Chains A and B, each alone.
Chain A
Amino acid sequence: MIRSIALLSIFAFLFFLPVTAEAIFNIETDQQTLDFGLMAPNEVRDNVPSKGVMVKCTSDQGIPWRLRIRLESPLAHVNNPSETIASDHFWWYGANTTGIGTLVTNENDFTVERIVYSAPAGEGANGIDVELRFKLALPPRTQSGDYLTKIIFTLIE
């Protein structure tokens, strides 16, 4: 009898054990790099990558959030960092989303940090996909070689 009561007490305790739900606030990109391939001066290459870069944002916070984009620095020559491709020759645009918020679909250059997607309150508990594509126009006088930079996607309330 006593053992039964003890077991029941343990089960009751476990059943009513307070559970703290973990907040979900997460960003995920489906690839780690962007590839424009070989380009010639004056060449414009659009719709890169052809399948898009997919960014998945998840928030269960119930309040509005933003996906933002910026370039860490202009594309710089790997051996001669003072040789750069200006950020107004490099563009991004939103191609698609699974969300109901506002996606920026017109071309924007990388001169400043900008908002890509604005989510209304309550959106994103199961994740929202935002697809982006990129365009690059090489200036006429571009030194040959590899150019480096980082595109930073930011998720913030």
Chain B
Amino acid sequence: MNQNSAIKKSGFILLSVALTGFLFVREASAISIGVDKPHINIISDPGTTDSGVIQVKNKGEVPISVRVTMADWTYDKEGERVFKKPGTTFLSCSDWIDIAPKEALVPANGALDFSYNITTPKDAMGGHYAVIFFNASGMEEEDKFKAMGIKLVGRIGTVVYQETRGKTNKIGSVPYFKIIKPKKNEPLLAEYKFKNEGNAFIRFKGTLSIMDKDGTLYGNADSKKDVGTLPGDVREDAIKWFGSLPKGDYDLILTVDMGEGTVPVIKQESISLERDI
């Protein structure tokens, strides 16, 4: 009768789990992985192939095994990336990307070039997206890791942004814009929503300009961050004005900039302040 069957028969008495039989005497070494291209932006013609190199660096004292995987990505409601299986999203270009090698050893304090080809189909329209993951793990012997239990893996992503030349529209709208007057010591707040109405990724940033009825500019305030959107995404943002304003009537002009070569979206609201702020 082996130990397991004895334990089963006697319930759970003395059952223990060796999650990790830590066999190493020495301290495990650090794992390090880096890339020279955290993102790739390409503007490509349909039916053509763009090529390049991503250098993967190992600044650590031990060699690492690097395995390449692909994924699609979208945004959740909070604007954080969500990774999905390659080729499963509408705007995926994962299947357009060929990278070599798929697996390789990167020596300690060394680097290795991974070559990629991105082939844009003839019928491509708008923008397409993917992420190339470089997964690094230590090169200790597998037998030892089998007893170790939980292995720590460093993964670094190169985000791919593709736009089809001549067939990309970057347009947006602001379906909601509201000014909230400040209470006591709070700032004046401009809330708005931006909708990506085009067929490509847009990074937007809002600026609020405050003018009186004579056209005198009292100041500008910006969004705290650039916000990324994919086609169809609606994202909320807010701009705070911490400055002072005498009581009176004002026009507040929101300008949403979408980057080079685009036409900004402009919205206007008026407010009347019954007291100085």
* A contacts, CB < 8 Å to B: 22-42, 53, 58-59, 61, 63-66, 72, 75, 78, 113, 115, 120-121, 136, 138, 140-157
Contact = CB atoms under 8 A, between A and B. Distances in A.
Contacts, number: 179
Interface residues of B, number: 53
B17 A157 contact: no
Interface of B: 3-4, 7, 12, 15-22, 27-39, 57, 59-60, 80-81, 83, 131, 133, 135, 137-138, 140, 145-157, 159, 225-226
Contact of B152 (A34, A42, A120): A34
Contacts of A37: 19-20, 22
Contacts of A35: 19-20, 22, 148-150
Contacts of A58: 34
Contacts of B138: 32
A36 B153 contact: no
Contact of B28 (A32, A144, A156): A32
Nearest to B156: A155
Contacts of A157: 38-39, 157, 159
A123 B243 CA distance: 27
A17 B173 CA distance: 46
A138 B159 contact: no
B19 A33 contact: no
Contacts of A120: 225
Given A27-B154, A153-B154, A33 B28 contact: yes
B154 A146 contact: no
Given A27-B156, A29-B30, A140-B12, A38 B150 contact: no
B141 to A, nearest CB: 12
B252 to A, nearest CB: 25
B15 A144 contact: yes
A41 B135 contact: no
A36 B16 CA distance: 12
Contacts of B156: 25-27, 154-156
